[in-house]
Amino acid sequence: MKQRLKHSVSSFRAALRAFFGVVVLVFGFSTGLKAQINTDHMMMVGRNALYFKDYVLSIQYFNQVVNAKPYLFEPYFFRGLAKFYLDDFGGAESDCTQAIDRNPFVADSYQVRALCRMRQGDFDGAIEDYREAIHLDPENEGVWHNMALCYGHTERYDEALGVLDTLHNIAPKYTPALTIRAQVNIQRKDTIAALKDIEESMKVDKYNASAYSMRAILYMQQERYAEAEEDLTYAIHLMPASNDYINRALARYHQQNLRGAMSDYDIAIDMDANSFLGHYNRGLLRAQVGDNNRAIEDFDFVISREPDNTIAVFNRALLRVQTGDYEGAEEDFTAVLKDYPNFIYGYECRADVRDKLGKRRLAEEDRLVVLKSQLASWGGGDSRQGNADEKDDAEKEEDTDVRRKSDRNVKKYKRLVIADDDIALEGNEYDSSYRGKVQNRNIHVELLPLYVVTCYERDNMLTRNILYHHDLDALNRSGRLPRPLLITATESALTEQQIEFHFADINEQTKLVAGSASDDDDAEAQRQSAVHWFARGLDFYLVQDLISAIADYSSAIAADGSLWIAYFNRAVARYKQTQIDGEASFEGPGGNASTTEAPQYAAYQLCLADLGKVIDLAPDFPFAWYNRANIYAMMHDYQAAIADYNEVIAMNPSFAEAYYNRGLTRLFLGQDEEGTRDLSKAGELGLYGAYNLIKRFGE
């Protein structure tokens, strides 16, 4: 016993020395100790934070390095990248310029600055940067891709096609080159060439949903609605998207399939509750079938988002007449006529409503306007009034065509709305890929992430009632931790206030550790110190200093070997550090255990040992079994992984992630039927991405 306590005290002293080193690292600049900042450590932790999308936190670390060593290019580049992800494109561009001034031979700096310039509409400046990046990295597909987009946005279509031809020669299997070339040809009104490009891309990748979506739009332009519907149905099967449902609704509408169109609009709105086109067009269809009250709800939504959308207001006015809301209808008609004073049909409608409200004199004034317009038209009087009357006559005719969203001609109020650009030159290949590039990570089919005990989580679309354990609940109720713990696999980036809190808590927990460990023979004091070690380890974990977190979790375990949450979180921290080190080589199907190098294998063994200890101490904690299964899968020990996933599902049959990961693992083993069944169950429980995997592996 005394030997164990001596080890605890020794660990405490060593960690205390390490802590004061960290205090200098984190707060050294604010106290004027610039020379004492370990910039390598700051860069490492800053990149950790960037990798795990803690952008505000990463900027704080990079600020420390910039202040200590302003001549380095890396902190400017990575700080600029963090700002880019926070949509601070001006600040990101400035930082990238600083990085380029210090080292003009890094292609990444030009690429990120080009992206910032694209987001700010400076396409010519972006093109200059991409030219520099190509000079440094001539076979980078993403650079050629984005440069083509820049030429397309500036309507330099011939140059865009030249860039895309070069990209196609460099990377014949890179299908985005073909789809963007199709987009450019559409902009040039060369539909034949566009269709050729799309079909060529389908030969290279028959599972490219965007290619089918694009061809469907071209088919609709040619009024080939049945073929368009077929392509959109297949695109939805590959990768469900709100816009594809909206476009398929339009194709079905043109084939007089109103029920099918309505169903598609319902699904599109379920997927994107803010869909303007979905609500507006569904409102029109509901009006056609007499579902007036729910049609009004759709137009209410549109008007709440676009109060100046006069055409939507006019449609709502007509519906309010049908439902007997004459006062509301009069108010809407008045708003429309304020914007369109020559819209004669609007005066007729308002006159009828005013009659119903008993406003005879005002109704006669509206009818007088209509009469003057008719007389002017018949007698060759005011040509403007005559034109308005002609618009009025046209408006009364049945019209089943469509209009562009930006077309505000009120006479087209019955038409379904389509986007202004059927196929716009959009896209940014680096939004997600740069995160992997930072740490040289390349995972194509990923297992869902590990669970961790922490303080914060992102909003999760899945509603769960299983994220509970009695030991954690008891610890939370004890009041010994600064913030309550929770279990999550969807960690949240820290806010500035949270960052400040956890840096301050590092100091506070150190004082508490020192106080609770003052009596070497007091077992209760040692257990209390273990909690404080754990709390400080969690602080370090949350500010992405994983190495310090691992050290503190180890000290917590040394002080109290029964504190299983320290083992659990240490396993997660070790796994994350392995990712950061760029050693995670699991690539899904076709992975080879021989690619698992010794350092990674050793790190995974440590994770397994920690999780095994958790299972010994808390066998009813399913998240330890789940995490261990993930580690086994990463090591390509698929049978062991499946055995652990089985344990998780036996404890909780609604554990969606366990079904998802077990399904993937079974697919890797060639157990297609069992794997597909598991993925289907995961989809049923709310992990809808499982359906896309079923399709990909099924064919």
Q: Assign residue 612 the CATH number of its domain.
A: 1.25.40.10
The predicted model gives 663-678 an average pLDDT of 90
Specify whether 504 is located in the same domain as 459. yes
Q: Containing domain of residue 572, as a range? A: 446-636
**Boundary residue ending a domain (618, 636, 654):** 636
pLDDT of residue 582: 64
pLDDT at 381 over 90: no
Per-residue pLDDT tens over the stretch 356-379: 999 999 999 999 999 988 887 765
Per the listing, tokens 């079974």 go with 666
Calpha distance 335→323 (Å, rounded): 19
Specify whether 596 is located in the same domain as 693. no
Q: Kind of pairing, strands 452-454 and 486-488?
A: antiparallel
Domain assignment of residue 535, yes or no? yes
Specify whether 524 is located in the same domain as 649. no
Neighbouring C-alpha atoms within 13 Å toward the C-beta of 285: 26
Mapped onto helix, strand or coil, the DSSP state of residue 486 is strand
Specify whether 499 is located in the same domain as 473. yes
Residues 6+ apart with CB under 8 A from 626: 450, 451, 644, 645, 648, 655, 657, 658, 661
Calpha distance 391→413 (Å, rounded): 12
Q: Is 390 exposed, middle or buried (0-12, 13-18, 19+ CB in 10 A)?
A: middle
Calpha distance 649→685 (Å, rounded): 13
Residue at 333: amino acid letter: F
Domain assignment of residue 659, yes or no? yes
pLDDT at 10 over 70: no
Beta bridge pairs of residue 486: 454
Domain assignment of residue 124, yes or no? no
pLDDT of residue 460: 59
Per-residue pLDDT tens over the stretch 306-342: 998 999 999 999 999 999 999 999 999 999 999 999 8
Specify whether 572 is located in the same domain as 603. yes
Specify whether 584 is located in the same domain as 618. yes
488 sits in which H/E element: strand 486-488
Per-residue pLDDT tens over the stretch 194-252: 999 999 999 988 888 889 998 998 998 889 999 999 999 999 998 888 889 999 999 99
Specify whether 499 is located in the same domain as 607. yes
Specify whether 463 is located in the same domain as 560. yes
Q: What percent of the chain has pLDDT over 90?
A: 57
pLDDT of residue 699: 54
Measured at the CA of 433, the angle between CA 431 and CA 437, to 5 degrees, comes to 130
CB 583 within 8 Å of CB 599: yes
pLDDT of residue 373: 85
Specify whether 477 is located in the same domain as 601. yes
Per-residue pLDDT tens over the stretch 552-580: 999 999 999 999 999 999 999 999 999 88
pLDDT of residue 420: 64
pLDDT of residue 423: 52
pLDDT of residue 1: 39
Least confident of 177-181, 357-361, 428-432, 695-699: 428-432
pLDDT at 269 over 70: yes
The predicted model gives 512-534 an average pLDDT of 78
Phi, psi (degrees; rounded to nearest 5) at 454: -150, -165
Residue that wins the pLDDT comparison between 637 and 588: 637
Specify whether 620 is located in the same domain as 649. no
The predicted model gives 659-688 an average pLDDT of 88
Per-residue pLDDT tens over the stretch 25-45: 343 333 344 445 688 989 999
Specify whether 605 is located in the same domain as 649. no
CA-nearest of 35, 16, 41 to 546 is: 41
CB 556 within 8 Å of CB 563: yes
Calpha distance 664→652 (Å, rounded): 19
**Boundary residue ending a domain (587, 605, 636):** 636
Q: Residue 406: which pLDDT band, with cuts at 50, 70 and 90?
A: confident
**Boundary residue ending a domain (593, 610, 636):** 636
Specify whether 456 is located in the same domain as 577. yes
Phi, psi (degrees; rounded to nearest 5) at 416: -65, 155
Give the count of domains, the chain: 2
pLDDT of residue 36: 54
